[in-house]
Structure 1
């Protein structure tokens, strides 16, 4: 169903305009996006949630990606055909922001945020059909990539997320190479606490190479505080 005013979002009886309509285009206002994200965050995660001033740079990149501002993303060196890999220290707010980000564009296909450990636990119980499930055409954000345990099904070890990323890359290559509309390109997002070297050690050079093609890297500062304390 097409939304009449996708730039105006209602939460708890309150309307949050994220910008203005100019014909069929939405002119987004970053400050209004922050107001909405703060309000939505409190609804989802509790009253203690807040948007931190030191996170503005990261949020600016994430927001411009999500609203598909081609000109700004070009300046920021973000490829809108790729997904997002949001990295940063433990507790900096990666998962919360990726859960929130999808709400600012209700007229776009949302992605599901799935903890990688849950995927591996599913593999251990159900086997390779779990890998097939997440290697499909769905839009996913794999949360806490790189810290999940090794999969084991009927005595056979498997680097579950490594195999899924290879499948996701194959789908991405097929859909992005067929001049599909951006909404039809199979996107993969992820969050991680690991750096590039640690990811390569976890998944190997082949997967790490595919990840460069799959993702735009958006990183928190290494000194970002643990907001859960």
Structure 2
């Protein structure tokens, strides 16, 4: 039986069957050791409510469906894995890519400021009469370094976030992100303005500091 049922053009998801599918896909992606941890179920429940567009549960969880997701937590707690696996329960039209922030910084070194436009102004699919925003997940925010392009140094991710914020306001462009940084670290690395914008454009989900490294 599928993890969802469509009735009267409304999709109804089965939480347990969706968890089973995520676990199955996780094992295929990360190996047979992959599993979902009981202590992470409250976080998974928040993500599930958000991604299946459950307005009542999101309201109960203080989640805003108009915003993206910012996942904070220690190294190895499962942030990237969950953000990579959640789309597997959704229609392909609602999938989104994860882009490692380190890779973006290397692209800037090669391509310069065009990289910033690639992940902001050009984050749209165009069709006759439509300009559809493309969701992106910035993975491991803070792991990149400021790299120079022909001697010009730029805080690339800060510029991308600020540009995507403007498009969030004007076009409802959704951005997700994962990071090991806390709020103070984000402000120190990217500035108060970026910290404020992230809070405005994303729902913040925080893993406990004591969350174990699940890669071990």
TM-score, normalised on structure 1? 0.86
User: What is the correspondence of 1:66-145 to structure 2 with a 5 Å cutoff?
Assistant: 66-135=51-120, 136-137=122-123, 138-145=134-141
> How big is the shift at 1:106?
1.3
Unmatched runs of 5 consecutive residues or more in structure 1: 1-15, 176-184
Structure 2 residue 65 is the aligned partner of structure 1 residue 58? no
In 2, Cα distance between the equivalents of 1:214 and 1:110? 19
Aligned alpha-carbon RMSD (Å): 1.2
> How big is the shift at 1:109?
2.4
In 2, Cα distance between the equivalents of 1:117 and 1:20? 39
Please point out which of 179, 184, 190 is paired with 2:177.
190
Structure 2 residue 32 is the aligned partner of structure 1 residue 47? yes
In 1, Cα distance between the equivalents of 2:53 and 2:86? 12
Give the 4+ runs in structure 1 shifted more than 2 A: 19-22
In 2, Cα distance between the equivalents of 1:21 and 1:116? 37
Structure 2 residue 29 is the aligned partner of structure 1 residue 33? no
2:105 is paired with a residue whose SS is helix
Structure 2 residue 198 is the aligned partner of structure 1 residue 202? no
> How big is the shift at 1:107?
4.9
1:227 is paired with a residue whose SS is coil
Alignment length (residue pairs): 205
Structure 2 residue 20 is the aligned partner of structure 1 residue 24? no
Unmatched runs of 5 consecutive residues or more in structure 2: 124-133
TM-score, normalised on structure 2? 0.91
Between 19-28 and 200-209, report the one with greater CA deviation. Answer: 19-28
Structure 2 residue 149 is the aligned partner of structure 1 residue 153? yes
